[in-house]
């Protein structure tokens, strides 16, 4: 890709983003979504989070330089699971980060 094509792609993506967001603003109060679409849109955030978890997070945690691994040498996986366990029990974000980092560091030092 040359410089012109890169700028064209950036401007094109900006225009598409602005148009799709502006359609709801331009319509104002006159534009009312049908109840069925309103119900569907309630689940959009949960669907996006589930997709991100399944497509980005889990494969990244299982991937190592030698392929997929659930061994103790996969420090990120076990640190993430420890952090998740802490979060599910205590619901504290700072503790989740601290526990995850402690487990990650201990596994790195031991294995």
Among residues 78, 79, 71, 85, the alpha carbon closest in space to that of 100 is found at: 79
In a domain, 80, yes or no: yes
Number of domains in the chain: 1
CA angle centred on 63, ends 57 and 66, rounded to 5°: 175
In a domain, 10, yes or no: no
63 - beta bridge partners? 68
In a domain, 27, yes or no: no
In a domain, 82, yes or no: yes
In a domain, 14, yes or no: no
Two structure tokens written together for 70: 């659930």
pTM score over 0.75: no
Query: Positive or negative, the Cα torsion across 101, 105, 108, 111?
Result: negative
- The model's pLDDT over 23-73, given as tens digits with 9 standing for 90+, comes to 878 777 777 789 999 999 899 999 999 998 888 899 999 998 889 999 989
Range of the domain at 93: 49-110
């Amino acid at each position: 890709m040359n410089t012109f094509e890169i700028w064209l792609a950036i401007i094109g993506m900006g225009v598409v983003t602005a148009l799709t967001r502006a359609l709801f603003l331009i319509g104002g109060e006159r534009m009312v979504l049908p109840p069925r679409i309103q119900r569907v849109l309630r689940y959009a955030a949960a669907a996006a989070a589930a997709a991100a978890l399944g497509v980005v997070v889990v494969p990244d945690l299982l991937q190592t330089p030698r392929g997929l691994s659930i061994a103790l040498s996969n420090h990120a996986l076990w640190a993430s699971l420890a952090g998740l366990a802490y979060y599910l029990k205590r619901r504290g974000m700072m503790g989740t980060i601290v526990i995850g980092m402690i487990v990650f560091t201990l596994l790195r030092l031991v294995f």
